[in-house]
A and B are shown apart, each in its own frame.
Chain A
Amino acid sequence: MCSWVVAALESWRSDPFPNQMQQQKKRDRGKVSFKVTLTSDPKLPYKVFSVPEEAPFTAVLKFAAEEFKVPPQTSAIITNDGVGINPQQSAGNVFLKHGTELRLIPRDRVGTIA
């Protein structure tokens, strides 16, 4: 088995719920983390971002869009249950209301072809 798998297993055995502990620690330091999955890609790639609590959530949106190489103006972030998130809140607010698991989706713009 590759070394990182072994290391992951070790850390899992010692601390079965690392996310909660880490996030607790991160919050205490004033940062919140989000795991954002790109749902438009069938492979469902994801990235974890850590931002200060007071940062506007638009920063997370921009970060995620850049990392996934999609334009931020035509992307939006929703929760795992599909609830839309207004990016005009602080990252801390979003963390409290919706948790850490989020999805990045492309925005539709509709009209008619004239």
Chain B
Amino acid sequence: MAKRLRILSNLKVKPETGVAWIVGFSSSSSSSSSSSSSSVPPPSPTAAASADLLPPLITVVAFVNCLHFSGTSSSSLQPDYEEEAEDLRILLPRGLEIVGAVVSSSGDTAATKNDATRAGDFAFGLRQELGLAANSGSDGINVIAALAVESLSTNESVMCYSQYDGSRLQLLEEEIVQEGSWRDTCLLRCQLELSMPLYLPSIVTLAEYEEQVIGSVDSIISNLKSSRAVFLFERQGETVLINASDKPNAKAAAADVQQIPSESTLSSLQGSILQPAENQVQIRRTLNSVLSVSHSSFRVPMKLILMIRPSCSKTSSPFMQYLPAKSLVELHLLRMSLDVLCLAPSHLSAADATTLLVVPALCDQLIVMCKMANKNATHNPKVCAFHFCPLSCPITTIYDLSYGESEIALVEHRKALHHRLGLPLDRPMLRVANALTLASLESSSNHSAGGKRLLDVHIGLSASTVAGGCQSLIAGSYEYYHYLQDRFDDNGWGCAYRSLQTIISWFRLQHYTSITVPTHREIQECLVEIGDKEASFIGSQEWIGAIELSFVLDKLLGVTSKILSVRSGAEMPSKGRELALHFRTQGTPVMIGGGVLAYTLLGVDFNELTGEIMFLILDPHYTGGEDLKSIRNGGWCGWKGTITTNGQQFFLANKFYNLLLPQRPITV
């Protein structure tokens, strides 16, 4: 019986390496057809019978390029199943499976059947390596074999899906949906911070290191899999204790299981208490809070906290255990931050979810982190797991942050991930700063002592008065820094510092860096550190200019900047074309220093034919509060022409101006 295929509308694939994997999940149609209006009881026999009549549904959520191949000749390329499985086990949340493979095909009818068969075989091979069970359902094992035919007219691939069970191909109709494919699933998240003690002599061999690490990790894994592991489900203040045991119907945890409230309708948040059937407790969807990330919205995941019961059940007096060491050893801590995301269908019971999804995911992450720690064998390793959502589904990666984010090995790791996910290679999307903070729905803004800063105060301004001009504006978001913020009195001397803070906030919000925006003192310390200023500069109220800003940007962020030096204010309009080009290609905020005043330039409106120009200026000399109206009305953010309202020149003719144009780093 042919399955139904559902694909998100914005999914595109272009298998750069020739082969890509199809990521998705299959759901039994009973959950997809149930409406959310009433509480769904455990699947009753009649519901199950009617479910068999509808074919099972496969939802495709992402395409992942295949990176590792074995075999050298291009015609007989076989994916290296072992390497791919190792990578994909960690990358995809548990619950998402490889449901098929895509092969790029030339499109002639002779080759299509061959290519589709190849795709199906690849998918089978990978599923076998991943240890995935056969698809449930009466029709046995089958995968989706898809072809991506590149059409010459548009630069996109046309997809053609078929179902393959090892011998036969059956064409599938796809159903394109906008979103809502996550409706019947539930995200679970479990975090585990481990700090393992390692007792290493000062000169340690790799074998000893590995032995200790593997020993500790093995003991943790056995703890996880034993019946001593207990999970605490947390959601909106309600908590439920679930025993993770091998048998889903275990009665051992009867005493621990409490009743979990469920919502009965969409609008009500607290519902009636559902009677658990024996020890089966249903997971309900959290309907109230939705996390919108890029194109898809997920429910806020349910948090799971792991606790391990001690082995001796009888209470006894505290005891100490000691292990003899062969020689003088030092204590080193191996810090690992595990963080697993699992996608569970809503009808799955909590105990099943932990046994089938969460515990294996934790074990997988542990094993990979152990390998990573062994590979680097540093003295204070710090291995962490992060979640990202660059495309339509969440992914997880593990980084070894012992040497910082710009380390070459990490950069290569990120580049490989960008290739795998088909992401552009010139901007950072998988850095720590881009990681999802699923704990709260607040964005990570720079909360300071003075309160929240205003973002993007230029949006919504009335248009400039240049007739027939072309606006080129800053790309992305920034925070408005100005005089007297954070109760720091920099009136009269700190405008360049404030302009720098605005620029750094732009790099922060665009995820090029995760450092905090520096204070005036930190900026001064940076300049003294690189030797541009004497030590007496710290704590003073000395003015700085565009050149000092370029030094600080280079030191703190690694950002190079271009300096445009304009001999006289009267020449500023002649730089219109160059500034417009900067905003179109780089889109970073510009700092204008000269004539004693500093400004931040957010855009230009330039008419190429007449040469008329207006500048969108953000003035850091504003001393008022965070009031958008007074900022706009007072002209602290607005379009300025070369002649101000008083009839004065905005840019003085007898002064020179330096413009600082920060360049986007082309980095991953």
Chain A residues packing against B (C-beta within 8 Å): 39-40, 42, 76, 78, 81-84, 86-88, 103, 105-114
Chain A residues lying within 8 Å of B560, measured Cβ to Cβ, are 83-84
Are A112 and B495 CB-contacts (below 8 A) given A86-B554, A88-B530, A88-B531?
yes
Chain B residues lying within 8 Å of A86, measured Cβ to Cβ, are 530, 532, 551, 554-555
Provide 17 A-B residue pairs closer than 8 Å at the C-beta atoms, listed in order of the A residue.
A76-B547, A82-B562, A82-B564, A84-B563, A86-B551, A86-B555, A87-B531, A88-B531, A107-B658, A108-B545, A108-B546, A109-B593, A110-B495, A110-B543, A111-B598, A113-B596, A114-B491
**Alpha-carbon distance A83/B355, docked complex (angstroms):** 57
Chain B residues lying within 8 Å of A84, measured Cβ to Cβ, are 547, 550-551, 554, 560-563
**Alpha-carbon distance A76/B548, docked complex (angstroms):** 10
Chain A residues lying within 8 Å of B543, measured Cβ to Cβ, are 109-111
B567 near A110: Cβ-Cβ < 8 Å? no
**Alpha-carbon distance A86/B533, docked complex (angstroms):** 12
Chain A residues lying within 8 Å of B598, measured Cβ to Cβ, are 110-111
A83 near B562: Cβ-Cβ < 8 Å? yes
**Alpha-carbon distance A110/B483, docked complex (angstroms):** 14
B637-661 CB mask vs A (1 if < 8 Å, else 0) is 0000000000000000000111001
Are A110 and B596 CB-contacts (below 8 A) given A40-B656, A88-B531, A105-B658?
yes
The residue on A at minimum CB distance from B491 is: A112
Are A112 and B492 CB-contacts (below 8 A) given A82-B563, A84-B563, A106-B656?
yes
Distance in angstroms from A85 CB to nearest chain B CB is 9
Are A108 and B593 CB-contacts (below 8 A) given A76-B547, A84-B550?
yes
B466 in the interface (beta carbon within 8 A):
no
B493 near A105: Cβ-Cβ < 8 Å? no
Question: What number of B residues sit within 8 Å (CB to CB) of A?
Answer: 37
Are A109 and B544 CB-contacts (below 8 A) given A84-B550, A87-B532, A88-B531?
yes
B240 in the interface (beta carbon within 8 A):
no
Of B531, B562, B564, B621, which one neighbours A112 at CB under 8 angstroms? Answer: B621
Chain A residues lying within 8 Å of B593, measured Cβ to Cβ, are 108-110
Are A114 and B565 CB-contacts (below 8 A) given A84-B554, A109-B544?
no
The residue on B at minimum CB distance from A75 is: B547
The residue on B at minimum CB distance from A40 is: B567
A112 near B550: Cβ-Cβ < 8 Å? no
Distance in angstroms from B139 CB to nearest chain A CB is 63
B551 near A105: Cβ-Cβ < 8 Å? no
Chain A residues lying within 8 Å of B564, measured Cβ to Cβ, are 82
Chain A residues lying within 8 Å of B658, measured Cβ to Cβ, are 105-108
**Alpha-carbon distance A105/B593, docked complex (angstroms):** 13
**Alpha-carbon distance A108/B545, docked complex (angstroms):** 5
B496 in the interface (beta carbon within 8 A):
yes
Distance in angstroms from B525 CB to nearest chain A CB is 15
B587 in the interface (beta carbon within 8 A):
no
A111 near B494: Cβ-Cβ < 8 Å? yes
B594 in the interface (beta carbon within 8 A):
yes
The residue on B at minimum CB distance from A77 is: B547
B307 in the interface (beta carbon within 8 A):
no
Chain A residues lying within 8 Å of B561, measured Cβ to Cβ, are 83-84
Chain B residues lying within 8 Å of A40, measured Cβ to Cβ, are 565, 567, 656
A81 near B565: Cβ-Cβ < 8 Å? no
Are A78 and B563 CB-contacts (below 8 A) given A109-B543, A110-B594, A111-B596?
yes
Chain A residues lying within 8 Å of B562, measured Cβ to Cβ, are 81-84
B545 near A107: Cβ-Cβ < 8 Å? yes
Distance in angstroms from B75 CB to nearest chain A CB is 45
The residue on B at minimum CB distance from A84 is: B550
List 18 additional A-B contacts (Cβ < 8 Å) besides A40-B656, A84-B550, A111-B492: A39-B565, A40-B567, A78-B563, A82-B562, A84-B554, A84-B563, A87-B532, A88-B532, A105-B658, A106-B656, A107-B547, A107-B548, A108-B546, A110-B496, A110-B596, A110-B598, A111-B495, A111-B596
B597 in the interface (beta carbon within 8 A):
yes
**Alpha-carbon distance A103/B550, docked complex (angstroms):** 16
Chain B residues lying within 8 Å of A83, measured Cβ to Cβ, are 560-563
The residue on A at minimum CB distance from B490 is: A111
Distance in angstroms from A72 CB to nearest chain B CB is 12
Chain A residues lying within 8 Å of B554, measured Cβ to Cβ, are 84, 86
- 4 tightest A-B contacts by CB? A108-B545, A84-B550, A108-B593, A82-B562
Of B531, B656, B661, which one neighbours A108 at CB under 8 angstroms? Answer: B656
Chain B residues lying within 8 Å of A103, measured Cβ to Cβ, are 565
**Alpha-carbon distance A112/B493, docked complex (angstroms):** 6
Chain A residues lying within 8 Å of B594, measured Cβ to Cβ, are 108, 110
Chain B residues lying within 8 Å of A113, measured Cβ to Cβ, are 596
Chain B residues lying within 8 Å of A39, measured Cβ to Cβ, are 565, 567
Distance in angstroms from B438 CB to nearest chain A CB is 40
**Alpha-carbon distance A42/B491, docked complex (angstroms):** 36
**Alpha-carbon distance A98/B109, docked complex (angstroms):** 55
Distance in angstroms from A24 CB to nearest chain B CB is 27
**Alpha-carbon distance A44/B600, docked complex (angstroms):** 29
Chain B residues lying within 8 Å of A87, measured Cβ to Cβ, are 531-532
A108 near B657: Cβ-Cβ < 8 Å? yes
**Alpha-carbon distance A82/B495, docked complex (angstroms):** 23
Distance in angstroms from B577 CB to nearest chain A CB is 15
**Alpha-carbon distance A84/B562, docked complex (angstroms):** 6
**Alpha-carbon distance A105/B659, docked complex (angstroms):** 12
B537-575 CB mask vs A (1 if < 8 Å, else 0) is 000001111111011001100001111110100000000
Chain A residues lying within 8 Å of B544, measured Cβ to Cβ, are 109-110
Chain B residues lying within 8 Å of A82, measured Cβ to Cβ, are 562-565, 661
The residue on A at minimum CB distance from B561 is: A84
B204-241 at interface with A (beta carbon < 8 Å): none
Of B495, B530, B542, B565, which one neighbours A105 at CB under 8 angstroms? Answer: B565
A111 near B565: Cβ-Cβ < 8 Å? no
B487-503 at interface with A (beta carbon < 8 Å): 491-496
B583-610 at interface with A (beta carbon < 8 Å): 593-594, 596-598
The residue on A at minimum CB distance from B555 is: A86
B492 near A114: Cβ-Cβ < 8 Å? yes
Distance in angstroms from B491 CB to nearest chain A CB is 7
Chain B residues lying within 8 Å of A107, measured Cβ to Cβ, are 545-548, 658
Distance in angstroms from A73 CB to nearest chain B CB is 10
Distance in angstroms from B581 CB to nearest chain A CB is 13
The residue on A at minimum CB distance from B483 is: A112
Chain B residues lying within 8 Å of A108, measured Cβ to Cβ, are 545-547, 593-594, 656-658
